[in-house]
A and B are shown apart, each in its own frame.
Chain A
Amino acid sequence: MKLYSLSVLYKGDPKVVLLKAAYDVSSFSFFQRSSVQEFMTFTSQLIVERSAKGSRASVKEQEYLCHVYVRNDSLAGVVVADNEYPSRVAFSLLEKVLDDFSKQVDRIDWPVGSPATIEYTGLDAHLSRYQNPREADPMTKVQAELDETKIILHNTMESLLERGEKLDDLVSKSEVLGIQSKAFYKTSRYTAFPERFSHSQMEYFTEQWALPRVPGPSTRVCFQARKQNSCCAIM
């Protein structure tokens, strides 16, 4: 699993301008390195040229996958990776980088910039950090952490369960709560921290407790419901 280059470009009309790039060609033999670097620059420029604004694409070239993201404001990023590198991580990297870049470099510099004139030093750091996708990407990082921390969570859940049980008693005892809200409450109990869990984790929990999936707005509602546990008034 490897990343070879990371570049930021500007999709001008008609020409595409390379603003900044970082490369990792250490896996190529000494005399191939400069050629490979040039080749990747070229490919990146070509791909951006052929991609529409506001699009994301992955282009396969021999043993390499080039992921490109062109924003609506014509700022584009290309990352060249091998076939094994997870594309989701690649795209999140691109988004992050472009975001970072647009904050640090003035918009007016984009159409006329070149690697020499643009002052942005974060690319090398990003490239080397993202060589290990698990380390770098928050989602996979959390995934990894969750894999390791399932036990911890379990404890928390258990402790939650105890509390929940009390809450349950309260909920079931309450006569004010409608049947629907009680059911709803049962659901929300186990999804107390929606923002931190990924969908798959939600699935895990919902499966575990045989609950329907409760994504999006309802989780906020559940949260509110929890806060208002005493006065379970759900509109």
Chain B
Amino acid sequence: MVGVKMAAAAAASIRERQTVALKRMLNFNVPHVKNSTGEPVWKVLIYDRFGQDIISPLLSVKELRDMGITLHLLLHSDRDPIPDVPAVYFVMPTEENIDRMCQDLRNQLYESYYLNFISAISRGKLEDIANAALAASAVTQVAKVFDQYLNFITLEDDMFVLCNQNKELVSYRAINRPDITDTEMETVMDTIVDSLFCFFVTLGAVPIIRCSRGTAAEMVAVKLDKKLRENLRDARNSLFTGDTLGAGQFSFQRPLLVLVDRNIDLATPLHHTWTYQALVHDVLDFHLNRVNLEESSGVENSPAGARPKRKNKKSYDLTPVDKFWQKHKGSPFPEVAESVQQELESYRAQEDEVKRLKSIMGLEGEDEGAISMLSDNTAKLTSAVSSLPELLEKKRLIDLHTNVATAVLEHIKARKLDVYFEYEEKIMSKTTLDKSLLDIISDPDAGTPEDKMRLFLIYYISAQQAPSEADLEQYKKALTDAGCNLNPLQYIKQWKAFAKMASAPTSYGSTTTKPMGLLSRVMNTGSQFVMEGVKNLVLKQQNLPVTRILDNLMEMKSNPETDDYRYFDPKMLRGNDSSVPRNKNPFQEAIVFVVGGGNYIEYQNLVDYIKGKQGKHILYGCSELFNATQFIKQLSQLGQK
């Protein structure tokens, strides 16, 4: 029983773990007990942009208040002295930040200082701070100095990205551009490894690492193995023993870390998608769990004539508290639309109930036989009143999702994204195509130039044989006529030539999508989600390349694609180079990390895959998160000569 419990705890979400770590930090580095009575100590939180990105998806302002943070400020802003309040710092140990912190110490801004570094600080910089503290006679005020090892951003229970602020440094382009020097590559790899290391410290487990050969993933694997190994050997300072680990260390099963390179599958980041979260990321401005919408309000009447529509910007946070989001973020869009409709109806029913009670209560004084109804109604009223906050929350969510889904639907209709989705699915699964590619590209109504470029690139990537010169010229002309920039194609050509040379082409599995015909799914007249003309496509489970690789490695299946993967076990005394895994049992827990960038489509595919497997957990991480627009931009830069 103990083993099972521990194993379950080890599978606790990364979000929970990071939140716990943050709360502990905010509680002056003492473990935070949830239901502690008494007022929390009031304090100030100082962070840099890295810290802000890490905290914002995890803790809302209200939660910060609950922890006693009255004021939260950016490190590099003008801050007034608040001499009787302790300050908690959460920053990266860079030169600039250290200088600013020393300056703070000299200026005697706060009562006491709790310094927390997102990733490990070097000895030299630590000495700088010590010197500054000494010079300012503030040594006693520096209460605690901690390395937090939290240098990664958790977006979901089971999804994380490395960084946001300096993501150009570790972008797909940075890793794959030809003019990179050895030292630059080392820096990029070190950045990635540092974050991954922090991730495993927070997770509290030492993984078994598998990676493909000859790619950036291999370089990351080698360095990560080395770093983990060094840390484990260092008996005094090992981060993987002791109480910071918690239950993880007793888990019988160690997790599997699969490191893959973005280059094994370039079609998925370009794919037009059909699930809610991925769609929001693709068509709207969705960033660190926050979506920004532009809503155009009606035309305003003014004496001078009609003013142009003013666009209101609204932003919503899509959080774990949002039950609708949690339930439907992986659902196909028509299902989402339907569910919003259902929620709206049930909300309206409840609202009507409350209104009815209100009116009954209003009439009560006039009615004589009302007293007998009173107790009945009181009960009803009580329940109505107590459910009011819930009801309000529900209303808020419905509004939110109505707005978001409407915005998404507008995009789908305007760009005919359903057509693209269906076509691409067919291309990727190598079923016969009913419409010619050229037709879609030349169609002026269907999609933006970027959509067409995406479609063509997927076609080119998935094709067993490159199209003939003449065909290619034809396509190129059609694309240029449609307004596309051909630079991404240039890069993909090079990539394909190399991929062909190096290994066999990837296949995307064989499956079919079942369109329910061009049925106009008008749900009811009151519905805002008139999906008329939009195909109600149902996603059939198919495994993307990354999922397939994970499946092979996790279930210890033999497959030519993955048999050659390297094997690293940092806990083994002598590192050997064999690719023969010593562990023969399937893994219960796995972390998939894509070096070079990932996206929600892959994430959703993994989530769907693991749903069917009892007791298994997957975490998905990537060095950066991009949608197709951002990815095309990078490809375009790479394709420029």
Question: Interface of A with B (CB < 8 Å)?
Answer: 26-32, 34-36, 39, 62-63
Contact = CB atoms under 8 A, between A and B. Distances in A.
Given A30-B185, A30-B216, A39-B501, 20 more contacts: A26-B178, A26-B179, A27-B178, A28-B178, A29-B175, A29-B177, A29-B178, A29-B180, A30-B175, A30-B176, A30-B178, A31-B214, A31-B216, A31-B219, A31-B261, A35-B498, A35-B501, A35-B502, A62-B497, A63-B497
A107 B173 CA distance: 48
B180 A30 contact: yes
B497 to A, nearest CB: 6
Contacts of B215: 31
A36 B498 CA distance: 8
Secondary structure call for the B interface = helix
26 contacts: A26-B179, A27-B178, A28-B178, A28-B498, A29-B175, A29-B177, A29-B178, A29-B180, A30-B178, A30-B180, A30-B185, A30-B216, A31-B176, A31-B215, A31-B216, A31-B261, A32-B498, A32-B502, A34-B214, A35-B214, A35-B498, A35-B501, A36-B498, A36-B501, A39-B501, A62-B497
A62 B177 CA distance: 21
A32 B185 CA distance: 13
B493 to A, nearest CB: 8
Contacts of A28: 178, 498
Nearest to A62: B497
Contacts of A32: 498, 502
Contacts of B261: 31
Interface string B205-243: 000000000111001000000000000000000000000
Contacts of A26: 178-179
Interface of B: 175-180, 185, 214-216, 219, 261, 497-498, 501-502
A39 B497 CA distance: 12
Nearest to A32: B498
Contacts of B498: 28, 32, 35-36
Nearest to A64: B497
Contacts of B502: 32, 35
Contacts of A36: 498, 501
A29 B261 CA distance: 13
Contacts of A34: 214
A27 B491 CA distance: 12
Contact of A29 (B176, B219, B497, B501): B176
A28 B214 CA distance: 14
Contacts of A63: 497
A26 B180 CA distance: 9
Contacts of B178: 26-30
Contacts of B176: 29-31
Contacts of B501: 35-36, 39
A71 B139 CA distance: 79
Contacts of B179: 26
Q: Which 4 A-B residue pairs are closest in the complex by CB-CB distance?
A: A29-B176, A27-B178, A29-B178, A31-B215
Contacts of B175: 29-30
Contacts of B180: 29-30
Nearest to B181: A30
Contacts of B219: 31
A62 to B, nearest CB: 6
B501 to A, nearest CB: 6
A42 to B, nearest CB: 10
A27 to B, nearest CB: 5
B178 to A, nearest CB: 5
A226 to B, nearest CB: 52
Contacts of B497: 62-63
A28 B175 CA distance: 12
B597 to A, nearest CB: 14
Interface centre among A32, A35, A39 (most CB of B within 10 A): A32
Nearest to B502: A35
Tell me which of B175, B178, B214 has the highest count of chain A C-beta atoms within 10 A of its own C-beta. B178
Contacts of A31: 176, 214-216, 219, 261
A29 B497 CA distance: 13
A9 to B, nearest CB: 21
A27 B176 CA distance: 11
Nearest to B184: A30
Nearest to A26: B178
Nearest to A33: B178
Contacts of A39: 501
Nearest to A25: B178
A11 B261 CA distance: 40
B194 to A, nearest CB: 19
